[in-house]
Every structure is written in C-alpha cells, then in structure tokens.
Amino acid sequence: MGSFLREEAGVALHEEGLLLLQAGRRIFLCHGDGLMAGDHLYRLMKRVLRHPAAIAGYRLLHPDLGIPFALFCSHLSRESARDKHHDDTDYRAWACRQIDAGHDLVVLGHSHVPALLPHGGGWYVNAGAWMEGFTYAMIEAGVPSLRQWDGREGRPYEPPPAPNDQA
C-alpha cells in the first residue's frame, strides 16, 4: 500500500510489531502471522508477496486482475489456518518467551482464539475474532481483560463450553 494508508487515512503499519508503554508496563502488540512452528510455507509466501519487486509488479496489474489475485492469496492463508483447527499453542509459547524477555503484556491476533493467559509477571492476550464472536481485548491501567459485545454493551468474555462438556 506504500504510503497510502499513512498519508490518506493516518494509519501506521508496524510489520514487526509495536512496543507501547502504558501505566509503566511494556506492551508488545503484534499481528502474529507466521509465528507457528509449521508456518514455513506461509513465511515464504509472505516474503515473496512483500518483496519490492512483487509489490511493483502488483501495482502494474489492473484491479480486475489484482483484486482476485489478492483474494486468492488471502484464501490460501485462511484455508491453511483452518486446517490447524485454531490451535494456538505456538502463539502462547512465543508470547511467553516475549514475557520472559521483559514484556509485561504480549497482544497477538491472527489465530482468532480468545486468550488471556497469565505467565510469570505478565500476560498473553489474544482478542479473538470480532467477526466470529464479537470478542475484543481491553487494557486499562496496564491490566488486560477480554470482553464480548452482546449487541448493547461489552461484557466479560466467557468461553463456550468444550465439546466434551456439553450434554
């Protein structure tokens, strides 16, 4: 997108994540794509698609070709993620390593699995998926919480019962 988002919409992209300080706490925000141990193909695809030559070539495409191509690449990523059954073990382990390295909160997305996991003196937070379950994370005074929008207001998130727990 070049400078479009920054100049036209005032949105800054932080591809490698963003470190924030809030209430004296070190908060690391990162999308989380490519963090799973088995994401070799995804990481390769990401490097190819984000290479300056690929970006320059994409800019030459007419939108009638470029948009379907982008949707196809996005679909490949989503299908690959679906095959993993939303297992977020690698994300949790990565976040715990970041906490061990000195971050107080590590906030990831990508897996779409809502999570609020204490580790050492810190927290791993994943907001989940707004479009699937209307979940979101809040960090107030350095303390994280998971919330779920019920159509009128945000309430504390309650995970659905595990399949074995249902009658």
What CATH number does the domain containing 31 carry?
3.60.21.10
Which pTM was predicted?
0.74
Q: Please tell me whether residues 121 and 73 are part of one structural domain.
A: no
Q: Which residues of the chain have pLDDT under 50?
A: 83-84
Give the pLDDT of residue 55.
Answer: 87
Q: Please tell me whether residues 56 and 123 are part of one structural domain.
A: no
Q: Tokens 């005074």 label which residue?
A: 141
Question: What is the domain extent for residue 59?
Answer: 40-83
CB 126 within 8 A of CB 113: yes
Give the pLDDT of residue 110.
Answer: 80
Number of domains in the chain: 2
Per-residue pLDDT tens over the stretch 73-96: 777 765 555 544 567 888 899 999
Helices vs strands, H then E, count in the chain: 6, 8
- 82, two tokens: 């679906």
Dist. CA 68–CA 88, nearest whole Å:
29
Look at residues 11, 52, 50 and name the one whose alpha carbon lies nearest to residue 33. 50
CA 25 centroid distance within chain? 20
Q: Please tell me whether residues 106 and 29 are part of one structural domain.
A: yes
Q: Please tell me whether residues 128 and 79 are part of one structural domain.
A: no
Give the pLDDT of residue 151.
Answer: 92
Residue 83, helix vs strand vs coil = helix
